[in-house]
Structure 1
Amino acid sequence: MYHRFVARRVRRIFAMISAGDWQPMVDGMAPSFTYRFHGEHALAGSRHTTGALRAWWERCFRLMPDPTFRVEEVLVTGPPWSTRVATVLTVTADLADGSRYENVVHQFVRMRWGRITEVRTLEDTLVLQRALDRLAASGFAEAHAAPITD
């Protein structure tokens, strides 16, 4: 029952992000957390504060306005004090330069008593880097900005 509740919440959060509201993701973080997006690009890096995470989501939406996250699979294991969630998503977006973006995302989350303590996001970095390069070539300098970290 608990695992179904968590999976349903994950699906709901991604639906909210797809509707333009990423704040529930930020609000779900524990007081001490790590939010890591793997790679070496403008969206990469580790964040440990809600301020840095908020700035990261703002950048994501500037570079990829109106993204859609289609949840393909959610796997939940563990008790409420040590929950692990694996999610497979397809993300699509019309980029700020007018091109279309589509990629597969794997996200691994650790939770403790309903609060997120760790997020590790893996996306096909070649596909992402090519999109960021197109944006930068079209005048969106932030696509090649240093990662937001703290």
Structure 2
Amino acid sequence: MYHRIVAGKVRKTFAEISAGNWEAMVAGMAPEFTYRFYGDHALAGERHTQEALRRWWQRCFRLLPQTTFEVQDVLVAGWPWHTKVATAVTVDVGLVDGTRYQNVVHQFVTMRWGRITEVRTLEDTAVLERALSRLAAAGIEEAHAAPITDEVPAAV
């Protein structure tokens, strides 16, 4: 029963993000967490603070507005004091140049007492980097920006 509840919460959170409410995901983070997105691109990097995670989500939705996430699989193991969750999620969004960005995201999540302590996000980075390059070619410079981390950005 516990695993079913967790899987339902994961599906609900992705539905919230698809509706533009990424704050639902941020609210589920433990006071101390690691959020890692693998790769070498504008969405890559590692974050440990809610402020950095919010800046990351804001960038995601500036670059890929109206992204939809369709959960394909949610696997849950463990108990409330140490829960592991694995997801496969299809990502789909129209880009400003008229093409579509579609990919499959795999996340590996660790939870403790209902709060997320670690997220590791993997997807086909070649597909993502091509989409970001198309955005940059369309004049969206942020598509090639440095990853967002916990460090406060330099004043402009």
TM-score under structure 1 length normalisation: 0.99
Percent identity of paired positions between Structure 1 and Structure 2: 71
1:126 partnered with 2:109: no
Using the TM superposition, give the Cα deviation of residue 94 of structure 1 relative to its aligned residue in structure 2, in angstroms.
Answer: 1.1
Partner of 1:58: 58
Partner of 1:105: 105
Whole-angstrom distance in 2 between the partners of 1:9 and 1:35: 18
User: SS of the residue aligned with 1:128?
Assistant: helix
Partner of 2:147: 147
C-alpha contact (below 8 Å) 1:74/1:87 kept by paired residues? yes
Q: Which moved more, 1:117-126 or 1:91-100?
A: 91-100
Partner of 2:153: none
Whole-angstrom distance in 1 between the partners of 2:94 and 2:63: 9
Which blocks of at least 5 consecutive residues in structure 2 are unaligned? Answer: 151-156
Using the TM superposition, give the Cα deviation of residue 120 of structure 1 relative to its aligned residue in structure 2, in angstroms.
Answer: 0.2
User: SS of the residue aligned with 2:10?
Assistant: helix
Partner of 2:117: 117
Q: Runs of 4+ in structure 1 displaced over 4 angstroms?
A: none
Whole-angstrom distance in 2 between the partners of 1:80 and 1:43: 30
Using the TM superposition, give the Cα deviation of residue 96 of structure 1 relative to its aligned residue in structure 2, in angstroms.
Answer: 3.2
Whole-angstrom distance in 1 between the partners of 2:70 and 2:82: 26
Q: Which amino acid is 2:40 matched to? A: E
Report the count of equivalent residues. 150
Partner of 2:47: 47
C-alpha contact (below 8 Å) 1:34/1:47 kept by paired residues? yes
Which blocks of at least 5 consecutive residues in structure 1 are unaligned? Answer: none
1:79 partnered with 2:79: yes
User: SS of the residue aligned with 1:56?
Assistant: helix
Partner of 1:36: 36
Whole-angstrom distance in 2 between the partners of 1:142 and 1:121: 20
Q: Which amino acid is 2:29 matched to? A: M
Q: Which amino acid is 1:135 matched to? A: L
